[in-house]
């Protein structure tokens, strides 16, 4: 490619799907669907309702078609993303609110629909949980599709592009991402989005390099501009130089070579060169995630976040429904273990079926084990369901957000009551199933010696442990620089928890983001952790770091780190060791 006289511009976004791609820009304009707001007479309301219902039927048909196409092309797990879109179409409260609005506001259905869906989306955008906040994009996506069907306009499609390109847009709906032609779309970049958006998930499933959160990239480029995207590090270069193309070409070759070697590790043990074995398991949120776990080579499920079973439906799942899901998980993952975490509701995850108080600081309020102990019937329903699944012998149970021994004793007492109830009915269960607690509150880490005699394992939730220990809201961009997993206080809390566990003959795992960070893996091993539980896609990379390491190196690193005084120094020590044992991995990390 010839050197260009255009000025080179480098932008930094969030890499959400790995890979490097270069090509001309296809600029996708995402103008709001235009419609005319108009008043309607009383006798027109019925006609507007009929138009709305016809548009819903057509939207549902289109979404089912997209879901089938995605399922056939890249698997049912990716296709299940559109379950959320179908739930929006079938949400009777939303539909009925639009119908009521027609009668009250006397406006055409397009106007009322936009007002209602905007209100729903804005409400979701105000919550602090990334996953739930991104559901606002699902509502907007479905709303746009309904509006197009009301107008009779053809749906936009990326399936018919003429030449290979880099797609650039303000935002990209998952239904649009699902229909893109992989042979033509080399990668994409958007102004908006986050790693938890469904569009980001679709990009990873399609194996298309992607960057989101670039703020204004859609107004910085013109159609036909040559650009380079690095989905590993989130780098977007407008008018790359010849040196850029050569350097990133080498990076992409290295990534492909590394990925090919990682794929071969599936059936290899997570064991250091000198024979130290670590249990490497997976975190999941939905039963459908088990397919990915099995394909990754994980040693079981280290964290099943059960609250999403409750949030994905309009009623509280009963004991039989939950037992069936937990039993299926235990059966499919056997002989490996499955750690089922009890409800972690509250904070940013609320049930529509349970009235919960408005709180000034919900993350430190009525949530997780506090909610469960205050709602014993809801809690005991789940405990009995987990106990029934434990009859298979490979189920463990874990309580979230424990802050005191008193909470553990109360939870265990309810668990004993559930065992008595099942015995009385002759329903089998494992009376010796392991019971563990999440250590994610400083008070729990500091009183681990009091808690340990009453449990069988600890699991360090490092995301919240960092947040609560350092008083840092991890979604607040202004103080994001203070969110430091390598802060000396965090390292000491982790070390104390592990040591206390070993003194009492129980194992300690880590299921937060630190466990999935290749830089942190040697340090955690050196501190003595027994299990790392990470998202299934991270399993091969973490396993590779473990297998390139000597336990003696990890121990030496931990000793050095415990003497350091700053998060920066500790991070540099970790980086130095990974650079020594796996330099190609270090090259790929942002």
Whether the CA torsion 225, 226, 231, 236 is positive or negative: it is negative
In the set 372, 418, 511, 574, the catalytic residue is 511
Closest to 441 measured CA to CA, from 407, 467, 472: 467
- Count of residues making up the chain: 590
For 266, which DSSP code? T
Rounded Cα distance, 456 and 408, in Å = 12
Sheet of 165-169: strand order equals 9-12, 235-238, 226-230, 20-28, 165-169, 185-190, 210-212, 14-17
CA angle in degrees (0–180, nearest 5) for 590-558-483: 45
- Taking the C-alpha atoms of residue 261 and residue 543, their distance in angstroms, rounded to an integer, is 11
The answer to whether the CB of 147 falls within 8 A of the CB of 113 is yes
Q: Cβ contacts of residue 27 below 8 Å, gap of 6+?
A: 168, 169, 218, 221, 222, 223
| CB distance 544 to 585 below 8 Å | yes
- Residues with Cβ within 8 Å of 89's Cβ and at least 6 positions away in sequence, in order, are 56, 59, 60, 63, 142, 146
CB 273 within 8 A of CB 549: yes
Distance CA 155, CA 183 (A): 21
**Is 198 an active-site residue?**
yes
Angle at 340 between CA 338 and CA 341, to 5 degrees: 145
3-state secondary structure of 430: coil
Instruction: Show the tokens assigned to 100.
Output: 């009521």
Q: Torsions phi, psi of 423, nearest 5?
A: -60, -45
* From 198, 239, 337, 487, active-site residue: 198
Q: At a CB cut-off of 8 Å and minimum separation 6, what does 432 contact?
A: none
| CA neighbor of 410 nearest in space, from 453, 369, 382, 352 | 369
Q: Which residues are catalytic?
A: 198, 511
């Amino acid at each position: 490619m010839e050197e260009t006289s255009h000025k080179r511009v480098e932008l930094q976004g969030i890499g959400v799907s790995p890979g490097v791609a270069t090509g001309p820009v296809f600029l996708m304009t995402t103008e709001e669907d235009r419609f005319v707001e108009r008043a309607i007479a009383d006798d027109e309301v019925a006609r507007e309702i009929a138009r709305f219902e016809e548009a819903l039927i057509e939207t549902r048909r289109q979404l089912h078609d997209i879901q089938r196409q995605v399922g056939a092309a890249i698997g049912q797990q990716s296709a299940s993303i559109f379950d959320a879109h179908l739930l929006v179409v079938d949400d009777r409260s939303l539909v009925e609110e639009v119908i009521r609005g027609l009668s009250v506001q006397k406006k055409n259905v397009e106007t009322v629909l936009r007002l209602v869906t905007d209100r729903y989306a804005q409400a979701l955008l105000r919550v602090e949980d990334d996953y739930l906040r991104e559901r606002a994009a699902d509502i907007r996506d479905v709303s746009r599709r309904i509006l197009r069907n009301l107008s009779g306009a053809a749906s936009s499609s990326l399936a018919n592009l003429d030449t290979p390109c880099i797609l650039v847009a303000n935002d990209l709906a998952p239904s649009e991402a699902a229909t893109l032609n992989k042979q033509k779309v080399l990668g994409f970049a958007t102004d908006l989005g986050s790693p938890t958006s469904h569009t980001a998930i679709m990009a990873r499933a399609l194996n298309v390099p992607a960057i989101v959160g670039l703020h204004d990239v859609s107004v910085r480029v013109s159609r036909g501009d040559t650009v380079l995207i690095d989905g590993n590090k989130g780098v977007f270069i407008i008018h790359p130089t010849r040196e850029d193309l050569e350097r990133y070409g080498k990076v992409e070759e290295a990534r492909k070579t590394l990925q090919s070697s990682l794929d071969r590790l599936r059936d290899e043990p997570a064991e250091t060169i000198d024979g130290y074995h670590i249990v490497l398991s997976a975190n999941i949120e939905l039963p459908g995630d088990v397919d990915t776990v099995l394909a990754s080579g994980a040693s079981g499920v280290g964290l099943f976040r059960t609250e999403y079973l409750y949030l994905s439906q309009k009623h509280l799942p009963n004991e039989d429904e939950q037992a069936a899901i937990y039993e299926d998980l235990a059966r499919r993952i056997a002989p490996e273990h499955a750690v089922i975490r009890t409800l972690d509701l509250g904070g940013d995850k609320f049930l529509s079926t349970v009235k919960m108080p408005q709180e000034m600081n919900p993350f430190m309020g009525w949530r997780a084990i506090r909610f469960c102990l205050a709602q014993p019937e809801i809690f005991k329903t789940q405990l009995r369901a987990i106990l029934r699944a434990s009859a298979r012998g490979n189920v463990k149970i874990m309580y979230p957000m424990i802050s005191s021994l008193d909470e553990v004793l109360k939870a265990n007492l309810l668990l004993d009551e559930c065992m008595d109830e099942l015995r009385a009915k002759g329903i089998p269960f494992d009376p010796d199933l392991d019971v563990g607690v999440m250590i994610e509150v400083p008070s729990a880490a500091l009183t681990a010696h009091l808690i340990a005699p009453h449990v069988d394992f600890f699991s360090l939730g490092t995301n919240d442990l960092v947040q609560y220990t350092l008083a840092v809201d991890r979604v607040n961009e202004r103080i994001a620089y203070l969110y430091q997993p390598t802060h000396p206080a965090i390292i000491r809390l982790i070390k104390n928890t592990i040591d206390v566990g070993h003194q009492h003959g129980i194992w300690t795992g880590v299921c937060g983001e630190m466990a999935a960070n290749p830089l942190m893996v040697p340090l955690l091993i050196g501190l003595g952790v027994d299990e790392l539980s990470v998202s299934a896609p991270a399993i091969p990379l973490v396993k590779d770091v473990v297998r390139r390491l000597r336990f003696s190196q990890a121990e030496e690193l931990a000793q050095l780190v415990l003497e350091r005084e700053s998060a920066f120094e500790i991070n540099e020590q970790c980086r130095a060791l990974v650079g020594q044992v796996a330099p190609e991995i270090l090259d790929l990390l942002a």
